[in-house]
């Protein structure tokens, strides 16, 4: 009760009551109210009877933002954050307005960008996918209108519970809501590692907003328990509100579903394309009554109450529910793809592909022939007044979605064989295909469970049950970053170094220096900790510096083989020996290694910048590694980088180098950096802290938060040579390159390769391609002629071999080594000879291993199994193989043992036939 002891309630005639149906406590002005007002305790009484005058999405959004801008606390209006949570390393998609400020602002480590503030934030949640279109209220993409106040214990309070409820009441009253119908339902909230009391704001059965008073954080030894979790009080206490923009629009229109309220034009297009009618035209009374009861009852109960069969109700609703889901999902895709998500098999790309493929199936099931990319573009046109930035991505989205559709169709073509193989086992055992197998088929091969069921059903098997929450389950498995457990040694070192002051980083202050002096603060395990250092610790894909520490007065040098940073303390791992606290050391770093890493790190920023300009704004760094001789960068991209694009990226990168642009590195306020440069600064990861190091190239052509060492100008990087590009996984392209002296050496190596090639072919360099092409064509012709001649020889070979047959018992047996004959030719020859009544074993020698084929006539296969004969020989001499009773093939026999294996083969067949005679 104390958490909800709010002065505003007492001063404005509210009464605290307990719901007769769900048992929850709530606050109301209506002294006669018996229930909390929330579904399922009450039906949606606003369907057909709007709660207040109709307003559009834009009007509701502006009303909310303006109300809080001009209220007594004058909130600062914030621009939306991306739907891809680039500033987070724990989640992929932006799920709430408060997610914009977690974890750094909510923990108090970083001040908020404004305080208080107001925002209308597009969010994406995929945990209720199976409910989309069916419940009338669930959405994958929605705008959470929120006003936030960040208070710090011991500091000046901005505002807290009392003002939050007062503002909510004021906004609802301004819209024209009947305040006697509004209830505030008590409901503890948890999310993102935080928790706190919460009030759900409800009217006419519909929850319009949640008012969260976040003041708890997860703690292993926390004193406060909520639903099995331990929490402690936070140093901050935060007003975290979420007003559902789409729900307010729905409440103002009173339509049967939220989809009808916010997607009327898209739904009209889809209904026409599907050749169906909206149930509002054919069954208006049933639809309106069903909608009103949908939040309070199950469909079976609604059907009974309406006096219709469940099947009939289902048949009426299913087509429009699929259309609702398509409308919702295409808006989700518009935001995802425009904000830079590239569909793939990992991270946020996996979630985008999941939504894409659901829509592909839905369109097919409804026989809607409008390409998905066109529907997404329709959504972008609808959204352009509020989010004009989405239109910039239209061309890319059209290409990307079209490409994804082709890939999806190819996946299904290839997938039928995989499904049949998987189903065979369960069909024989008369078992259902387990859920984990269905998930694996989807995760590994991209095969939807509906497709699996169709393929299996075509085999007259009913062994697939698809859980209703299948896609929500899969989405939840891929919605958060999976973290590996910290190694015990790392945990131990963190504990040992927590009282040691942070190391002064001389490599930022004197980036070109290679020598320094420092004092030893401690020696932990096998690592030296200094008060200051030039040694760069491994991080951000840049390897650690190496070098030496010489102990003053002892004439003793310690080799530094690795450098790591733990919470600001830099540890220099030495090869052998130790050093005492307080000792003074002279440090020396490997200058050549450092400059190579520095050039490659700056080159990485340049290459990413060039790739983004050539390939598109969706390009995002997915990994990087810098070395002395070469470096690589992994970027998100939806197709293979072409040779022309590779050349263009390389040319543009070298232009940036030749323009000798300034590279500036400064520590900046995190909030200012985010607002000034956007979230692209987190290309290489999300650093902690209020201040972050920003590296800028030229006139902000590339800006990243980066802790690495960098050149002072792009000209110092030297030439950049792209060595190769490759697809390392779906949606991720790797660019490998060299910079500076390393690039010159790579170019020299290529020139030497060309020089040697021209020397061998005796042509000038400019004639080399034509000469190689000519020789290749000649080689192909010679190969064809060689195969023709070998075929002729093969035709003669069976007769020659028959003449060499040995009679063992009553069987003509042949063993022979044909040194250069392929396995295919061995099979053909052996098959012909066996058909003429001979038992034959042939060997060939290719490379360092031998191949073998055994064949016997079908009328002898009961006495001599070709497979048994071959396996006896191959296993004995280091190989393997198999086949049937009449013909078998194998290999892996060491080349020097082929002749011995041949003798063993004849010995085996002789013993086999003799034993057969003895049995007779």
**How does pLDDT run across 141-161, given as a tens digit for each residue?**
999 999 999 999 888 899 999
Contacting residues for 757 by C-beta, under 8 A, at least 6 apart = 768, 772
377-381, 847-851, 910-914: range with highest mean pLDDT = 377-381
Q: Is pLDDT larger for residue 902 or for residue 666?
A: 666
**How does pLDDT run across 347-366, given as a tens digit for each residue?**
888 899 999 999 999 999 99
Q: Does residue 452 contact residue 444 with C-beta atoms inside 8 Å?
A: no
Write b or e for each residue in 298-316: b if 16 or more Cβ atoms lie within 10 A of its Cβ, otherwise e.
eeeebbeebebeeeebeeb
Cα angle 204, 210, 216; round to 5: 150
Confidence label for 482 from pLDDT (cuts 50, 70 and 90)? low
Confidence label for 13 from pLDDT (cuts 50, 70 and 90)? very high
Question: Which of 218-222's residues contact partners 24+ apart within 8 Å by CB, and which partners?
Answer: 218/193, 218/194
The mean pLDDT value for 100-109 works out to 86
**How does pLDDT run across 61-91, given as a tens digit for each residue?**
999 999 999 998 999 999 999 999 988 888 8
Residue 275 is classified by DSSP as T
Query: How would you classify residue 567: left for phi > 0, otherwise alpha for psi between -120 and 50, otherwise beta?
Result: left
pLDDT score at 467: 79
pLDDT score at 148: 96
Confidence label for 3 from pLDDT (cuts 50, 70 and 90)? confident
Burial environment of residue 744 by CB neighbours within 10 A (0 to 12, 13 to 18, 19 or more)? middle
pLDDT score at 583: 92
Both structure tokens of 93? 């998609």
Contacting residues for 857 by C-beta, under 8 A, at least 6 apart = 834, 835, 836, 837, 838, 839, 886
Phi, psi of 879 (to 5 degrees): -125, -155
pLDDT score at 310: 87
Q: Is pLDDT larger for residue 373 or for residue 314?
A: 373
Confidence label for 192 from pLDDT (cuts 50, 70 and 90)? confident
pLDDT beyond 60 at 485? no
pLDDT score at 918: 65
Phi, psi of 371 (to 5 degrees): -60, 140
The mean pLDDT value for 698-719 works out to 93
pLDDT beyond 50 at 552? yes
Both structure tokens of 151? 């208070």
pLDDT beyond 90 at 545? yes
Tell me the three state secondary structure of residue 623. strand
pLDDT beyond 70 at 487? no
**Cβ atoms < 10 Å from Cβ of 768:** 14
H or E element at residue 147: strand 141-152
Mean pLDDT, all residues of the chain: 89
Considering the chain, what percentage of its residues have pLDDT values greater than 70? 98
Bridge partners of 854, per DSSP, are 841, 888
Q: Is pLDDT larger for residue 437 or for residue 574?
A: 574
Q: Is pLDDT larger for residue 846 or for residue 558?
A: 558
CA distance 13 to 588: 75
C-alpha Rg value of the chain to the nearest Å: 36
Considering the chain, what percentage of its residues have pLDDT values greater than 90? 55
The mean pLDDT value for 618-645 works out to 92
pLDDT score at 486: 39
Q: Does residue 505 contact residue 568 with C-beta atoms inside 8 Å?
A: no
pLDDT score at 481: 65
β-pair type (547-551, 224-226): unpaired
**How does pLDDT run across 319-343, given as a tens digit for each residue?**
999 999 999 999 999 999 999 999 9
**How does pLDDT run across 264-308, given as a tens digit for each residue?**
999 999 999 999 999 888 888 888 888 888 877 888 888 888 888
Min mean pLDDT across 110-114, 429-433, 556-560 is at 429-433
Taking the mean position of all CA atoms in its chain, how far away is CA 523? 41
pLDDT score at 38: 92
Query: Angle of helix 449-458 relative to helix 435-445, nearest 10 degrees?
Result: 110
pLDDT beyond 80 at 849? no
pLDDT score at 489: 42
Give the 3-state secondary structure percentages of the chain, helix then strand then coil, rounded to 5: 45, 25, 30
pLDDT beyond 70 at 511? yes
pLDDT score at 897: 81
pTM, rounded to two decimals: 0.80
Integer angstrom CA distances of residue 243 from 33, 120, 128, 144: 24, 9, 19, 6
CA distance 635 to 725: 11
**Cβ atoms < 10 Å from Cβ of 227:** 7
Integer angstrom CA distances of residue 230 from 93, 190, 192, 193, 564: 26, 11, 14, 10, 33
Q: What is the dihedral of CA 797, 798, 802, 804, to 10 degrees?
A: 20
Contacting residues for 419 by C-beta, under 8 A, at least 6 apart = 441, 447, 451, 452, 455, 456
Q: Considering only CA atoms, which of 612, 605, 624 is closest in space to residue 710? A: 605
Q: Considering only CA atoms, which of 95, 141, 84 is closest in space to residue 618? A: 84
Confidence label for 461 from pLDDT (cuts 50, 70 and 90)? low
Tell me the three state secondary structure of residue 162. helix
**How does pLDDT run across 20-33, given as a tens digit for each residue?**
999 999 999 999 99
């Amino acid at each position: 009760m104390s958490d909800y002891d709010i002065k505003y309630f007492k001063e404005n005639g509210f009464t605290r009551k307990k719901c007769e149906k769900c048992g929850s406590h709530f606050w109301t002005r209506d002294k006669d109210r018996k229930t909390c007002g929330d579904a399922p305790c009450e039906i949606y009484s606003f369907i057909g009877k709007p709660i207040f005058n109709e307003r559009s999405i834009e009007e509701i959004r502006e009303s909310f933002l303006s109300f809080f801008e001009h209220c007594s606390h004058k909130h600062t209006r914030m621009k939306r954050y991306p739907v891809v949570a680039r500033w987070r390393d724990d989640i992929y998609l932006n799920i709430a307005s408060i997610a914009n400020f977690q974890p750094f602002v909510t923990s108090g480590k970083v001040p908020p960008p404004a305080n208080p503030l107001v925002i209308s934030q597009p969010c994406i949640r995929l945990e209720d996918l199976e409910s989309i279109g069916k419940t009338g209220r669930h959405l994958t993409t929605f705008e959470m209108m929120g006003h936030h106040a960040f208070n710090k214990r011991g500091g000046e309070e901005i505002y807290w519970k009392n003002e939050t409820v007062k503002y909510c009441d004021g906004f609802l009253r301004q819209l024209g809501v009947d305040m006697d119908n509004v209830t505030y339902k008590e409901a503890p909230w948890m999310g993102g590692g935080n928790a706190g009391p919460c009030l759900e704001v409800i009217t006419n059965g519909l929850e319009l907003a949640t008012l969260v008073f976040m003041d708890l954080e997860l703690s292993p030894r926390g004193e406060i328990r909520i639903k099995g979790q331990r929490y402690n009080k936070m140093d901050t206490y935060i007003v975290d509100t979420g007003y559902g923009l789409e729900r307010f629009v729905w409440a103002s229109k009173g339509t049967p579903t939220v989809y009808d309220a916010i997607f009327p034009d898209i739904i009209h297009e889809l209904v026409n394309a599907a050749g169906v009618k909206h149930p509002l035209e054919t069954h208006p009374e049933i639809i309106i009554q069903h909608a009103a009861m949908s939040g309070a009852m199950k469909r079976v109960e609604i059907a009974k109450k309406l006096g219709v069969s469940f099947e009939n109700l289902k048949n009426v609703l299913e087509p429009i529910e699929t259309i609702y889901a398509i409308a919702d999902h295409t808006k989700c895709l518009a935001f995802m793809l425009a904000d830079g998500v590239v569909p793939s098999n990992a991270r946020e790309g996996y979630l985008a592909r999941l939504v894409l493929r659901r829509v592909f199936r839905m369109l097919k099931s409804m026989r809607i022939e409008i390409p998905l990319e066109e529907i997404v573009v329709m959504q972008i046109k609808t959204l352009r007044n509020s989010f004009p930035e989405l239109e910039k991505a239209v061309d890319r989205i059209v290409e990307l979605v079209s490409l994804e559709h082709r890939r999806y169709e190819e996946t299904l073509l290839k997938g039928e064989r995989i499904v049949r193989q998987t189903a065979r086992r369960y069909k024989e055992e008369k078992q259902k295909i387990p859920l984990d197998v269905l998930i694996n088929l989807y995760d590994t091969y991209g095969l939807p469970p509906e497709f699996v069921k169709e393929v299996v059903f075509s085999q007259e098997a009913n062994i697939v049950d698809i859980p209703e929450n299948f896609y929500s389950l899969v989405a939840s498995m891929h919605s958060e970053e999976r973290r590996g457990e910290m190694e015990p040694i790392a945990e131990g070192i963190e504990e040992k170094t927590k009282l040691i002051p942070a190391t002064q980083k001389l490599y930022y202050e004197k980036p070109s220096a290679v020598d320094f002096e420092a004092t030893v603060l401690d020696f932990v395990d096998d690592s030296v900790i200094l008060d200051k250092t030039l040694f760069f610790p491994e991080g951000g894909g840049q390897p650690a510096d190496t070098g030496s520490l010489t102990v003053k007065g002892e004439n003793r040098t310690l080799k530094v083989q690795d450098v790591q940073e733990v919470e600001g303390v830099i540890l220099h791992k030495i090869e052998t020996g130790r050093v005492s606290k307080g000792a003074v050391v002279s440090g020396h770093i490997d200058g050549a290694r450092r400059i190579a890493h520095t050039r490659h790190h700056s080159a990485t920023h340049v290459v990413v910048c060039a790739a983004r300009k050539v390939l598109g704004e969706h390009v995002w760094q997915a990994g990087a590694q810098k070395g002395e001789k070469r470096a690589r960068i992994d970027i998100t991209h939806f197709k293979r980088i072409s040779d022309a694009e590779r050349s263009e990226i390389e040319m543009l990168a070298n232009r940036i180098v030749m323009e000798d642009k300034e590279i500036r590195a400064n520590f900046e306020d995190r909030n200012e950096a985010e607002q000034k440069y956007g979230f692209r600064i987190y290309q290489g990861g999300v650093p902690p802290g209020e201040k972050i190091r920003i590296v800028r190239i030229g006139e902000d052509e590339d800006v990243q938060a980066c802790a690495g060492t960098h050149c002072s100008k792009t000209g110092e990087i030297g030439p950049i040579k792209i060595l190769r590009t490759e697809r390392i996984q779906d949606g991720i392209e790797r660019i490998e390159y060299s910079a500076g002296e390393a690039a010159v050496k790579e170019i020299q190596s290529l020139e030497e390769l060309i020089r040697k090639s021209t020397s061998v072919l005796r042509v000038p360099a400019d004639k080399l391609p034509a000469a190689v092409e000519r020789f290749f064509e000649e080689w192909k012709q010679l190969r064809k002629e060689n195969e023709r001649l070998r075929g002729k020889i093969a035709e003669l070979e069976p007769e020659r071999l028959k003449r060499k047959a040995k009679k063992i018992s009553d069987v003509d047996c042949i063993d022979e080594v044909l040194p250069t004959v392929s396995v295919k030719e061995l099979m053909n020859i052996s098959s012909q000879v066996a058909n003429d009544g001979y038992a034959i074993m042939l060997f060939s020698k290719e490379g360092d291993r031998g191949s073998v084929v055994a064949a016997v006539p079908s009328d002898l296969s009961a006495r001599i199994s070709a497979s048994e004969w071959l396996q006896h020989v191959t296993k004995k001499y280091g190989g393997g193989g198999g086949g049937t009773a009449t013909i078998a093939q194998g290999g892996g026999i060491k080349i020097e043992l082929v002749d011995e294996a041949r003798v063993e083969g004849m010995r085996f067949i002789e013993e086999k036939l003799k034993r057969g005679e003895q049995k007779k």
